[in-house]
Amino acid sequence: MAMNITQKIIKKHLVSENMTAGEKIAIKMDQTLTQDATGTMAYLQFEALGVPRVKTKLSVSYVDHNTLQTDFMNMDDHRFLQSIAAKYGLYFSRPGNGICHQVHLERFGAPGQTLLGSDSHTPTCGGVGMIAIGAGGLDVALAMGGDPFYFSMPKVVLVKLTGKLQPWVSAKDIILELLRRLTVKGGVGKVIEYGGLGVKTLSVPERATITNMGAELGATTSIFPSDEVTKAFLKAQKREKSWTRLEADPNAAYDEVVELDLSKIEPMVAKPHSPDNVVPLKELEGTPVQQVAIGSCTNSSYRDMMTVAAALKGKTVHPDVSLVIAPGSKQVLEMITKNGGLASMIAAGARVLESACGPCIGMGQAPSTKSISLRTFNRNFEGRSGTKDAQVYLVSPEVAAAAALKGVITDPRKLGKKSPNIKMPNTFIVDDNMVISPLPPKKAATVEIVRGPNIKPLPEFKPLPNVLQGKIIIKVGDNITTDHIMPAGAKILPLRSNIPAMAEHVFSPIDPAFPKRAKEMGGGFVIGGANYGQGSSREHAALAPMYLGVKAVVTKSFARIHLANLINFGILPLTFANEGDYNNVEQGDDLELDVTGLDGKSLILKNKTKGVDLEVKHPLVGRDIDIIKAGGSLGYVKTRG
């Protein structure tokens, strides 16, 4: 049977039986990655599994999120993670080495292999032809322990690229155009596979910008073929041996086809406060800008940095703009230092930050009150920048550079007829001195884990009772993100390994009284709209509500990773059988749910306050039901023995 690339890789790694779209499948994961903000919890869970050494081909622990060290907490976590990596046979990418996705693409990504990462932008490595999926830390811990990864077999969408981008238009504009067309829900349950003659016009970093931001479409992952361009990239990284050709069979079938003529794409902008709120730049030309931030796992490659450096060369940043730049990796930073690109940025007045997530996750550089910040990042959810009333717009590096120079949103084509057109280097500077290799098993066994006072034990997981009872603690609307449920930023992120402290911030951007109310009510229910839990992979958005006693979340629909995280932590996910019933529940209503019939598809939720019975459904299949009954995955794995 003719197969597309997605089917080929999944088939090779399949440990379950069939591959029908929508059915639960299980695949073997070759590689895993974690970052520090999700890693601490992932490794506490890995320790609880009692496995002596990771069972993957390769597992890497990165430190890139919590690098603003305002007290002992973050560096305590870094030392914990380093000792864990040494003990359990992982590579450890030291702070300063760069953003996990950028470094993984450069140094570890391999066509045809599978990668599971405890970060939603793990699909970045789809840029070199991997099936790379973001998941909660517990799923990654299980994969490191040798378990397969369970998920729904996605539909496969072909995005057929034709033509070639115009000067000053880049990969970011392609993915913004797709977000405009498909929205943040458009990719749910799907893999976005790229094909067509336009593919070969895009370099690997450009492909990675596109696969990275496929996460914003809600897609399971995104993938490009592995071709001569991939080969040249891997060769330049001195990793030619990792290359294999990967392409769809000529008559491969797809569930949907989207056609995109690259030559017709123009500079695009995502307006506040959602990555799909996209308009052509021309609609916003002339809007004054107070901050420009360039970097993040979407746009911090050598290609992006050199494009910005070329645009800034010999000029000065506009007096009304603060320009910050964070190159994505030590490799990128070293290369632009040696070739003078960094000097052009500094001379123009850019404020250069370390190679890390930085402002993308609110780790510093919060914009001023009500200001407009143009960012090359992937998310512009309200408040994520650290300033609640800031207006964050998502743009390409070209558009960012033009605004930094002009002080207003400007079409970068006005910077000159000829775009910088950066050539990919024949060889990158390859020096993995900031990656610590795994220790041999005997030596590893003697390593002591370093545990600072902020690293608290895992909360307890209780099996599901027969009847769930309680009040609705909160009712929220559509497209609620995990940044609403469990915000990040410089103040809260350091608490990731301390659930009791973290729980004090659940839902704080929407309703700061939530934790207090949840405790007073002795836990209860959460009601949500469509696409509940979109955005990051942080399992804390399930774990901390569980700690506060949330028993079930009833919504119109869920985002993929958050749904898996709820199941992993024993919170029952439910959807209204009739969406209109969303209007039959209110905050404070008293609910009762008999869950003895969980093996069937629907249950009756009694609204005792309103005296109505509502039919609710659950998306659980097979082992999901046993996991929920056991109070979560850890309990389930233990009973499984």
Give the nearest distance from C-beta 121 to ligand SF4 in angstroms.
5
How many CB atoms are located within 10 Å of the residue 175 CB?
30
Q: Which residues pair with 258 in a beta bridge?
A: 159
* CA dist., res. 408 & res. 255, Å (int): 42
Return the one option of ligand MIC, ligand SF4, none that residue 335 interacts with (CB less than 5 to 8 A, by type): none
Shortest Å distance, C-beta 507 to ligand MIC: 16
Which of 211, 537 has the CB closer to ligand MIC? 537
Given a contact cutoff of 8 angstroms between Cβ atoms, the answer to whether 195 and 161 are in contact is yes
Q: Which residues bind ligand SF4 (CB under 6 A)?
A: 65, 99, 119, 121, 296-297, 357, 360-361, 378
Task: For ligand SF4, give the closer residue by CB, 140 or 158.
Answer: 140
- Rounded Cα–Cα distance for residues 110 and 308 (Å): 28
Given ligand MIC, ligand SF4, none, residue 226, with its beta carbon under 5 to 8 Å by kind, binds none
Q: How far is the CB of 295 from ligand SF4 (least distance, A)?
A: 7
What's the closest the beta carbon of residue 214 comes to ligand MIC, in angstroms? 13
Distance of CA 14 to the CA centre of its chain: 24
Q: Quick one: what does residue 38 bind among ligand MIC, ligand SF4, none, with the CB cut-off 5 to 8 Å set by partner type?
A: ligand MIC
State the binding partner of 296 from ligand MIC, ligand SF4, none, CB within 5 to 8 A by kind.
ligand SF4
Q: Of 111 and 494, which has the nearer Cβ to ligand MIC? A: 494
Dump the DSSP string for 531-572.
Answer: TBTBS---THHHHHHHHTTEEEEEES-B-HHHHHHHHHTTPE
Which is closer to ligand MIC, CB of 87 or CB of 538? 538
Neighbours of 490 (CB within 10 A): 17
Beta-strand runs (E) in 328-412: 351-352, 372-375, 391-394
Measured from the CB atom, the residue of 136 and 632 that comes closer to ligand MIC is 136
- Long-range CB contacts for residues 398-402, cutoff 8 Å, separation at least 24: 398/168, 398/169, 398/170, 398/267, 398/307, 398/311, 399/267, 399/269, 399/281, 399/374, 400/292, 400/293, 400/294, 400/308, 400/374, 400/375, 400/376, 401/292, 401/294, 401/307, 401/308, 401/311, 401/312, 402/311
99 contact, one of ligand MIC, ligand SF4, none, CB 5-8 Å limit per kind: ligand SF4
Smallest gap, in angstroms, from Cβ of residue 23 to ligand MIC?
26
Query: Measured from the CB atom, is 312 or 480 closer to ligand MIC?
Result: 480
Q: CA–CA separation, 564 vs 571, rounded Å?
A: 10
What are the distances in angstroms from CA 300 to CA 98, 191, 355?
A: 10, 24, 9
Between 215 and 234, CB nearer to ligand MIC: 215
Helices (H) and strands (E) in the chain, counts: 21, 26
Nearer of residues 221 and 537 to ligand MIC, judged by Cβ: 537
Distance (Å, whole) CA 628 – CA 633: 8
Contacts of the segment 411-419: beta carbons below 8 A, 24+ positions apart:
411/168, 411/267, 411/281, 411/282, 411/285, 412/168, 412/267, 412/311, 413/166, 413/167, 413/168, 413/267, 415/168, 415/311, 417/167, 418/167, 419/167, 419/168, 419/307
Among ligand SF4, ligand MIC, none, what binds residue 380 when CB lies within 5 to 8 Å by partner kind?
none
What is the smallest separation between the CB atom of 216 and ligand MIC, expressed in angstroms?
A: 10
CA distances (Å), origin 21, targets 12, 147, 409: 16, 22, 43
DSSP letter at 481 equals B
Cα gap 101→85, rounded to integer Å: 18
Distance in Å, CB of 101 to ligand MIC, minimum = 9
**Shortest Å distance, C-beta 379 to ligand SF4:** 6
Q: Which of 26, 28, 6 is nearest to 18 (CA)?
A: 26
Measured from the CB atom, the residue of 210 and 284 that comes closer to ligand MIC is 210
209 interface partner picked from ligand MIC, ligand SF4, none, CB below 5 to 8 A per type = none
Q: Which of ligand MIC, ligand SF4, none does residue 538 bind (CB under 5 to 8 Å by kind)? A: ligand MIC
Q: Which does 161 bind (CB under 5 to 8 A by kind): ligand MIC, ligand SF4, none?
A: none
User: CB-wise, 38 or 322, nearer to ligand MIC?
Assistant: 38
327 CA to centre of own chain: 19
Report the partner that residue 395 touches, choosing among ligand MIC, ligand SF4, none (CB closer than 5 to 8 A by kind). Answer: none
One-letter amino acid for residue 336 of the chain: I
Nearer to ligand MIC, 202 or 293 (CB): 293
Partner whose binding site includes residue 376, from ligand MIC, ligand SF4, none (CB under 5 to 8 Å by kind): none
The partner in contact with residue 537, picked from ligand MIC, ligand SF4, none with C-beta cut-offs of 5 to 8 angstroms by kind, is ligand MIC
| CA–CA–CA angle 106, 267, 265 (5° rounding) | 90
Task: State the minimum distance, in angstroms, from the CB of residue 120 to ligand MIC.
Answer: 4
Nearest approach, Cβ of residue 192 and ligand MIC (Å): 17
Shortest reach from residue 215's CB to ligand SF4, in Å: 8
List beta partners, residue 131.
Answer: 114
Q: How far is the CB of 533 from ligand MIC (least distance, A)?
A: 11
Residues that bind ligand MIC (CB under 6 A): 37-38, 65, 119-121, 134, 361, 488, 536-538
- Closest to ligand SF4 by CB, 179 vs 310, is 179
